[in-house]
Amino acid sequence: MKCEEFMFYGNLIISVDMGLNTCVGNQTGLCHIRFANGDHFEYMVPGGEVSGLVYGDRKFKLTNKAFIIERNKQLFCEISMGKDKP
C-alpha cells in the first residue's frame, strides 16, 4: 500500500488453529512502514486468541511478543503480552 505520507509492505504467513469454542492465530513475517521523511519501521505482530465462539463470553487476547525495529536510529522495542508477560 502506498500513499504520499507512507508506504506499507511485507510478507506474512498466517496460521490458524480452530477448536470448538476457541480460535488461535499467528502471523509469521516482517511488515515494513516507510515514511516520506525517511523513517523506516519494521514490525512483527503477536498472535491472538478468541474464545467464546459458540458458548460463554466472547474474549480476545493477544499472546506472545511484538517487536518494532528502526535500524537507522538503532531503536528496538519488545512488547510482551499474555503468557510471555513477566
Residue 49 has which C-alpha cell? 486468541
pLDDT of 83 reads 63
Nearest to 66 by CA among 40, 84, 39, 86: 84
SS3 69: strand
Backbone angles phi, psi at 42, to 5 degrees: -115, 145
pLDDT of 84 reads 55
SS3 80: strand
Residues of the chain with pLDDT under 50: none
SS3 83: helix
- The residues, ordered by sequence, that sit 6+ positions from 71 with a Cβ below 8 Å of its Cβ are 40, 42
pLDDT of 42 reads 96
pLDDT of 64 reads 85
